[in-house]
Structure 1
């Protein structure tokens, strides 16, 4: 497939996806297209204007390993925050820590950033290049960001920075 054919195919798929999404969101009302068509044109322009990150497919085996980890960490995170909220004796010692990312840019990195908040007492605060700032509720507790990064790398079958 030539580069031109690939670009047109990608454009047609995006156009179809945007049209379908707008139709679903508006319940197919004809009057909505007055705003919808310019909005879709702007969205397509933005999508094509900025460079695309490499596509990293999701590994089925990695997904099957990530789901139980995600569920367990979500429950642990919720219990930890609830315990801290209702227990005045549990001290808070918040801090912003920096974590050097080794995941490649694109989907793996964004997935990691969004998943950090599922860990007990953590929240993604800022991304500056390849350094993630994370707000932790207790600086004495290891947020296990490296373990999460490894899980995400397995999910996307991508190498970490030291493995490239």
Structure 2
């Protein structure tokens, strides 16, 4: 697993370098050195972990994310353009099952991309989410996302 992670990361960094350098052959030595340095930093800051992705739940998660982003984006725009503001901002606390670590952090980043809601804290088994309208089913939506995310990364 470590060899695959090293090869994948090095390939990624070298590819980025080649795009930046406009694929010039004379830039390969410095690009190789920069990629090795980026690889070393990457492995130091984020060691490889065993994550098994399930493609079907991951595809469902991506489709859910895209569709909810569009719906929520339209809702936020509608609320912003209305002459009267029908917002009920507030916080919702809900149970959180993902353990501390990389999986939890990735899920929180994923959740923060949804318009209208923002995770504000994840302490222990409680997640606090700020919502623009707490009359909406924020808790149910976040819990559904967490369950699907857990299935996608094989953490059930």
TM-score (norm 1): 0.69
- Equivalent in the alignment of 1:142: 137
> Which structure 1 residue ranges, 5 or more long, are not aligned?
1-5, 160-164
Q: Given the superposition, is the C-alpha separation of residues 134 and 31 from structure 1 closer, same or farther in structure 2, using an over 3 Å criterion? A: farther
Task: Give the 5 Å matches for 1:122-133.
Answer: 122-125=117-120, 132-133=127-128
- Equivalent in the alignment of 2:155: 158
RMSD (Å), alpha carbons: 3.2
2:82 to 87, 97, 104: 87
Q: Residue 20 of structure 1: CA displacement?
A: 2.5
> Which structure 2 residue ranges, 5 or more long, are not aligned?
none
Q: What are the Cα deviations for residues 113-137 of structure 1, in whole angstroms up to 9, with x where unaligned?
A: 2332454521234556765443211
Q: Given the superposition, is the C-alpha separation of residues 35 and 135 from structure 1 closer, same or farther in structure 2, using an over 3 Å criterion? A: farther
Q: Distance in 2 between matches of 1:51 and 1:118?
A: 22
Q: Distance in 2 between matches of 1:51 and 1:133?
A: 26
SS in 2 for 1:52: coil
Q: Distance in 1 between matches of 2:27 and 2:106?
A: 33
2:96 to 94, 101, 113: 101
Q: Residue 82 of structure 1: CA displacement?
A: 1.0
Q: Given the superposition, is the C-alpha separation of residues 96 and 20 from structure 1 closer, same or farther in structure 2, using an over 3 Å criterion? A: same
